[in-house]
């Protein structure tokens, strides 16, 4: 049979036997192995293949160890590309999405992944929406969702909100119009309420998640302790008479040489009309630049022509607007200390502002802690105690207070698009914003929509919008925003645990959820190190507080796989260096592809595509088949042979290599980064060693073990051969036989006066006298005419002879 036919045969067998479905027996030990679910873009790419090769190896390994394994797959099926495709190809997003899912399922099938198909899900399924909407209402009722105005990218020509990806160099991707920042109502989820817990729980994940990811999450939550206080305006301006600032460096307060406001600061609004046209237009341009773009531009600003008063020195300090001050952080205003802050320094240089040094150092800007100078009675203190003393002074005199600030912002979840989960809220003139009543869920997307890239199609759909207020039963208008697709991916791993037949009637099936959670191993790309993982951790805590789960942290162990590259660059359509998994499967078969991917690099490292290594994988698989044929192993046996004690050197060596590979397999699967490459290398060595001898019993035992070890990696061929050679009997956990690993002899170095002069092989357990005789023989020519003063045997290492 050809390799492709063998593969097909076993794929169909696995499918029909339900071999890989999780069992409902909750008394079994379990493993929940999960790959990040794919977006149904149309075709699987090598990154997907790598992802599932890793998780599939884990899932198969644990099944063989007797675990009940959940290894599900689903589809992150809402989102923009479906709408873009609808605009471009005049298809419906739903059709496009489901046909992509079908196509990708076929591709995954042909790779032989052992997915728990009975737990499949697609997030665009109305049943998924139903429970997501229900959860959203729970959150609304707990005050975890609110509505407020926020800035969005807006294309004035298409009259539509744009996602960040749709803004190319400040312009609309469709019509090239300059994008502006428009303030609109948005729904926000209060992730900030969990900021402290999200931070604290990271400690529990130490050594279980990659350090780099933990650091990124910590920085994203960004907790900082500091002081807020106000500078009085020299002259009040409208209703505003002071400017509040937040600083983490109260110790530098005597070094303030200007203050700066965010372009959106209310005081800027009050002052705007008093400014000349030049300054006005710069401010308006800054306001229309997204925060992300601002952060990449050079520091710029304008003077507002007014002063504030320093609270400790009463000096007059000029006030500026600056593009590096964010309205969303602290109070949207900063005290600037150019001598000790990079941004402040750059800005001061640009606008020739004074630079006052208050921390001792030879270079400026000096941004670390140090000894205070030019700071009145705080001189000589170190930064840390100065901060404490200054904050104390401000609190004691009611001038300011110590505060904790987080970088983490509440999560804006509303999107003005069609292909997403409808937000289950209703606008009623009498009752305000009311959640839809739960028995009316799911709110389904209407299918008869025009998707043309202008505005939100739902907003133009009258029968969708028209509804009844659940509270007063009057006429009302349905919300037309849909949810950010990150909401769906924040709880799908919980939803997988609920069996299909329970999914209509409940969000989570309690017993199943308790049994399967937490995810034991989560495998995915580093690009999700922040948002997806943070949102998922947050949702798990919210679901816990509502009472759906007892888990606080969803993912017990995280493996971030490296990128797949070719010719030194990430594989991507735009670079034209994509290798299509379909071609590889057709030319080499699934097992070769899987073997190559796990052999070419350890999972966490970058994987450089290499055609000749793929050939190598293909040859190894063929060798495995042909050796089995040559040695007549294909005659199935009922039980494993008993290997007798007296074996030749080569026979012993072959056996040892086989058991070493077995030991390696156990080590690799219990490590935290799963270096499958080392395990594969060990099986290759074992096959070579087996080939150096022709004892059929040793071949049989060797094959039995090698097929076992390799099954998680190249399952098709292992099932085929194990079926042929062993009727698949006992195809499971095997103990490592220590006696096979034992060395019969060891090498000892022989040194004379500490200089290495030779080497001897001695049998284990022989006496020192015998060792010395052998040693002296081996270095006889160095001993001629010499007197031996001392003979030293260091067990298992060396023999040293001291001579004169």
Annotated binding site: 573
CB 220 within 8 A of CB 407: yes
- Count residues near ligand ANZ (CB under 6 A): 19
- Take residue 726 and report the two structure tokens written for it: 């062993």
Residue 247 interacts, among ligand ANZ, Zn ion, none and using kind-specific CB cut-offs from 5 to 8 Å, with: ligand ANZ
- Rounded to a whole number of angstroms, the minimum distance from the CB of residue 252 to ligand ANZ is 4
Q: What is d(CA 467, CA 453) in angstroms, rounded to the nearest whole number?
A: 25
Nearer to Zn ion, 431 or 546 (CB): 431
- Rounded to a whole number of angstroms, the minimum distance from the CB of residue 431 to Zn ion is 3
Residue 428 interacts, among Zn ion, ligand ANZ, none and using kind-specific CB cut-offs from 5 to 8 Å, with: Zn ion
CB 452 within 8 A of CB 86: no
Residue 337 interacts, among Zn ion, ligand ANZ, none and using kind-specific CB cut-offs from 5 to 8 Å, with: ligand ANZ
Which are the contacts of 665, defined by CB distance < 8 A and separation ≥ 6?
Answer: 61, 679, 682, 709
Residue 750 interacts, among ligand ANZ, Zn ion, none and using kind-specific CB cut-offs from 5 to 8 Å, with: none
- CA 521, 571, 486 angle in degrees (round to 5)? 50
* Among residues 295, 430, 626, 796, the one that binds Zn ion under rule CB under 5 A: 430
CB 419 within 8 A of CB 78: yes
Nearer to Zn ion, 434 or 654 (CB): 434
Taking residue 54's Cβ as centre, other Cβ atoms within 10 Å add up to 23
Nearer to ligand ANZ, 340 or 594 (CB): 340
Nearer to ligand ANZ, 97 or 383 (CB): 383
Residues from 57 through 76 that contact ligand ANZ (CB under 6 A): none
Residues from 218 through 257 that contact ligand ANZ (CB under 6 A): 224, 246-249, 252
DSSP codes joined into one string, 164-218: GGGEETTEETTT-PBPEEEEEEEEEE-GGGGHHHHHHGGGGGTTTS-HHHHHHHH
Q: What is d(CA 214, CA 217) in angstroms, rounded to the nearest whole number?
A: 5
Binding mask 700-739 for Zn ion (x = CB under 5 A): ----------------------------------------
**Binding of residue 395 to ligand ANZ (CB under 6 A):** no
Question: Distances in Å between the alpha carbon of 32 and those of 62, 67, 116, 269, 515?
Answer: 10, 10, 11, 54, 10
> Given the structure tokens 């920042």, which residue do they identify?
181
- Rounded to a whole number of angstroms, the minimum distance from the CB of residue 476 to Zn ion is 6
Residue 471 interacts, among ligand ANZ, Zn ion, none and using kind-specific CB cut-offs from 5 to 8 Å, with: Zn ion
In three-state form (DSSP H/G/I as H, E/B as E, the rest C), the secondary structure along 576-596 is: CCCCCHHHHHHHHCHHHHHHH
Q: What is d(CA 473, CA 469) in angstroms, rounded to the nearest whole number?
A: 5
Q: What is d(CA 534, CA 220) in angstroms, rounded to the nearest whole number?
A: 9
- Rounded to a whole number of angstroms, the minimum distance from the CB of residue 52 to Zn ion is 49
Which are the contacts of 184, defined by CB distance < 8 A and separation ≥ 6?
Answer: 149, 150, 152, 154, 161
> Given the structure tokens 């890989």, which residue do they identify?
20
Nearer to ligand ANZ, 85 or 283 (CB): 283
**Binding of residue 426 to Zn ion (CB under 5 A):** no
- What's the distance, Cα to Cα, between the start and end of the chain in Å? 72
* Among residues 395, 405, 650, 678, the one that binds ligand ANZ under rule CB under 6 A: 405
Residue 335 interacts, among ligand ANZ, Zn ion, none and using kind-specific CB cut-offs from 5 to 8 Å, with: ligand ANZ
Q: What is d(CA 340, CA 791) in angstroms, rounded to the nearest whole number?
A: 68
- Rounded to a whole number of angstroms, the minimum distance from the CB of residue 475 to Zn ion is 9
Binding mask 451-490 for Zn ion (x = CB under 5 A): ------------------x-xx------------------
> Given the structure tokens 């004379």, which residue do they identify?
752
- Count residues near Zn ion (CB under 5 A): 6
Instruction: Say how many residues make up the chain.
Output: 804
Taking residue 796's Cβ as centre, other Cβ atoms within 10 Å add up to 11
Nearer to ligand ANZ, 324 or 522 (CB): 324
Residue 469 interacts, among ligand ANZ, Zn ion, none and using kind-specific CB cut-offs from 5 to 8 Å, with: Zn ion
Nearer to ligand ANZ, 42 or 222 (CB): 222
CB 484 within 8 A of CB 413: yes
- Rounded to a whole number of angstroms, the minimum distance from the CB of residue 279 to ligand ANZ is 20
CB 590 within 8 A of CB 110: yes
- Rounded to a whole number of angstroms, the minimum distance from the CB of residue 375 to ligand ANZ is 13
SS3 assignment, position 58: helix
Residues from 315 through 334 that contact ligand ANZ (CB under 6 A): 324-326, 329-330, 332, 334
φ, ψ of residue 282 to 5 degrees: the values are -65, -45
φ, ψ of residue 178 to 5 degrees: the values are -60, 125
- Rounded to a whole number of angstroms, the minimum distance from the CB of residue 305 to ligand ANZ is 22
Binding-site residues from annotation for ATP: 573
**Binding of residue 341 to ligand ANZ (CB under 6 A):** yes
* Among residues 337, 647, 710, 775, the one that binds ligand ANZ under rule CB under 6 A: 337
- Rounded to a whole number of angstroms, the minimum distance from the CB of residue 144 to Zn ion is 22
Binding site for Zn ion (CB under 5 A): 428, 430-431, 469, 471-472
């Amino acid at each position: 049979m050809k390799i492709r036919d063998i593969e097909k045969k076993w794929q169909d067998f696995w499918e029909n036997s339900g071999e890989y479905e999780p069992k409902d027996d909750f008394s079994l030990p379990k493993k929940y192995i999960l790959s990040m679910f794919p977006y149904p873009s149309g075709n699987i790419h090598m990154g997907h293949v790598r992802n599932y090769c890793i998780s599939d190896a884990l899932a198969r390994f644990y099944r063989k160890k007797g675990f009940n394994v959940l290894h599900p797959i689903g589809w992150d099926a809402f989102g923009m590309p479906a709408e873009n495709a609808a605009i471009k190809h005049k298809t419906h997003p739903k059709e496009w999405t489901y046909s992509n899912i079908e196509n990708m399922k076929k591709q995954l099938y042909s790779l032989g992944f052992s997915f728990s198909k009975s737990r499949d899900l697609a997030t665009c399924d109305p049943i998924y929406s139903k429970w997501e909407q229900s959860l959203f209402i729970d959150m609304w009722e707990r005050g975890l969702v609110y509505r407020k105005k926020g800035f969005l990218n807006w294309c004035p020509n298409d009259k539509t909100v744009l996602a960040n990806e749709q803004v190319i160099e400040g312009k609309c991707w469709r019509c090239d119009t300059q994008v502006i920042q428009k303030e609109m109502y948005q729904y926000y989820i209060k992730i900030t309420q969990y900021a402290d817990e999200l931070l604290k729980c990271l400690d529990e994940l130490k050594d279980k998640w990659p350090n780099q990811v933990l650091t990124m999450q910590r920085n994203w939550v960004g907790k900082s302790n500091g002081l807020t206080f106000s500078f009085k305006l020299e002259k009040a301006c409208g209703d505003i008479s002071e400017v509040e600032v937040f600083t983490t460096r109260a110790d530098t307060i005597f070094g303030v040489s200007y203050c700066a406001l965010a372009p959106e600061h209310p005081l800027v609004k009050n002052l705007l009309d008093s400014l000349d046209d030049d300054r006005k237009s710069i401010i308006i341009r800054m306001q229309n630049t997204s925060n992300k773009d601002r952060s990449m531009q050079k520091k710029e600003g304008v003077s507002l022509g007014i002063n504030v008063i320093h609270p400790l020195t009463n000096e007059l300090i000029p006030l500026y607007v600056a593009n590096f001050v964010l309205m969303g952080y602290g109070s949207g205003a900063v005290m600037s200390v150019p001598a000790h802050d990079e941004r402040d320094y750059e800005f001061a240089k640009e606008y020739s502002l004074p630079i006052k040094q208050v921390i001792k150092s030879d270079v400026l800007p000096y941004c670390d802690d140090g000894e205070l100078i030019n700071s009145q009675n705080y001189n000589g203190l170190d930064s840390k105690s100065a901060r404490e003393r200054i904050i104390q002074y401000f609190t004691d005199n009611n001038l300011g207070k110590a505060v904790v600030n987080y970088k983490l912002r509440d999560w804006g979840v509303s999107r003005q698009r069609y292909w997403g989960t409808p937000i289950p809220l209703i606008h009623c003139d009498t009752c305000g914003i009311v959640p839809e009543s739960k028995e009316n869920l799911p709110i389904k997307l209407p299918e008869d929509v025009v998707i043309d890239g202008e505005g939100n199609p739902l907003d133009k759909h009258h029968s969708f919008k028209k509804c009844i207020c659940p509270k007063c039963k009057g006429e009302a208008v349905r919300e037309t925003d849909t949810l950010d697709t990150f909401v769906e991916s924040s709880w799908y791993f919980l939803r997988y645990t609920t069996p299909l037949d329970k999914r209509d009637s409940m969000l989570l099936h309690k017993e199943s959820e308790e049994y399967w959670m937490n995810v034991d191993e989560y495998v995915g790309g580093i690009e999700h190190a922040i948002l997806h993982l943070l949102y998922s951790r947050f949702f798990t805590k919210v679901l816990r507080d509502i009472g759906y789960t007892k888990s606080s942290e969803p993912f017990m162990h995280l493996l971030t796989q490296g990128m797949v590259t070719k010719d030194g660059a990430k594989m991507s359509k735009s670079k034209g260096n994509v290798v299509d998994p379909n071609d590889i499967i057709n030319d080499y078969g699934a097992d070769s592809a899987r073997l190559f991917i796990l052999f070419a690099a350890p999972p966490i490292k970058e994987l450089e595509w290499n055609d000749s290594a793929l050939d190598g994988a293909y040859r190894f698989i063929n060798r495995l088949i042909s050796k089995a044929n040559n040695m007549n192993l294909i005659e199935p046996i009922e039980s494993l042979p008993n290997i007798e004690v007296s074996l030749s050197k080569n026979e012993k060596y072959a056996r040892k290599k086989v058991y070493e590979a077995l030991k390696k397999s156990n080590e690799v699967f219990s490590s935290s980064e799963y270096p499958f490459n080392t395990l594969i290398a060990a099986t290759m060595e074992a096959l070579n060693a087996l080939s150096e001898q022709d004892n059929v019993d040793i071949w049989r035992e060797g094959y039995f073990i090698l097929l076992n070890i390799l099954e998680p990696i190249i399952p098709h061929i292992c099932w085929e051969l194990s079926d042929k050679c062993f009727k698949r009997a006992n195809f499971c956990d095997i103990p490592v036989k220590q006696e096979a690993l034992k060395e019969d002899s060891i090498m000892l170095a022989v040194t004379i006066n500490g200089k290495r002069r030779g080497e001897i092989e001695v049998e284990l357990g022989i006496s020192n006298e015998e060792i010395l005789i052998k040693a002296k023989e081996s270095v006889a020519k160095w001993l001629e005419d010499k007197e031996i003063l001392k003979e030293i045997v260091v067990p298992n290492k060396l023999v040293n002879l001291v001579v004169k």
